[in-house]
Amino acid sequence: MEQFRFLVINGPNLNMLGIREPELYGSQTYTGLVEFIEKSADEYGVQVECFQSNHEGVIVDKIQAAYGVFDSIVINPAAYTHTSVAILDALKAVSIPTVEVHISDVSKREEFRKVSYVRLACIDSFIGFGFEGYRMAIKRLIDEISK
């Protein structure tokens, strides 16, 4: 059987994990996150590519390029979650099963973080589970696409 291909997209400032606001995002680095995701994917027997960008248009380009290449997307759009109609539209355009992840619990922070545009194109969201949310998202998507 062919392995499922997963694309994990992390948005702006997530490359600063370990340095930025450790009380919210923990002390592990972005490299640590990539290792965690690769290990999780390995355990579930799926292929994964991790991608990070600080630029909205680059994230849109990556989502468009995923069409016909990846079976599922896990996305933490970071600050673009709360502002980006362009990322929402890109996800709708490719129509690849997608799950949203946030390391911190955005539902318990500032009001503006309670709005998520991308959520409208996602089958589920894992919010406030730290790195574990990415593993949960992969599992949720495997269950969905194996149906």
Binding interface with ligand DQA (CB under 6 A) = 13, 76, 78-79, 81, 102-104, 106, 113
> Cβ of residue 101: shortest distance to ligand DQA, in angstroms?
7
Q: In whole angstroms, how close is the CB of 79 to ligand DQA at the nearest point?
A: 4
CB-wise, 7 or 103, nearer to ligand DQA? 103
Structure tokens that stand for 56 in this block: 């909205």
Task: For residues 21 and 3, give the distance between their C-alpha atoms in angstroms, rounded to a whole number.
Answer: 36
* 55 in catalytic set: no
Q: Choose between 113 and 119: whose C-beta lies nearer to ligand DQA.
A: 113
Which residue among the candidates 80, 102, 117, 134 is catalytic per the annotation? 102
Q: Which long-range contacts (CB under 8 A, 24 or more apart) does 32-41 make?
A: 32/131, 33/131, 33/134, 36/131, 36/134, 36/135, 37/8, 37/131, 37/134, 37/135, 37/138, 40/134, 40/135, 40/138, 41/6, 41/138
- Coil, helix or strand at residue 107: helix
Q: What is the C-alpha to C-alpha distance for residues 52 and 13, in angstroms, rounded to an integer?
A: 9
Single-letter amino acid, residue 79: A
Q: Is 44 a catalytic residue?
A: no
- Nearest approach in angstroms of CB 68 to ligand DQA is 27
Residue placing its CB nearer to ligand DQA in the complex, 53 or 104: 104
Set 25, 80, 117, 134: catalytic member? 25
CB of 34 to ligand DQA, least distance (A): 15
| Tokens linked to 79 | 């600050």
Q: Which is nearer to ligand DQA, 40 or 76 (CB)?
A: 76
Catalytically annotated residues: 25, 102
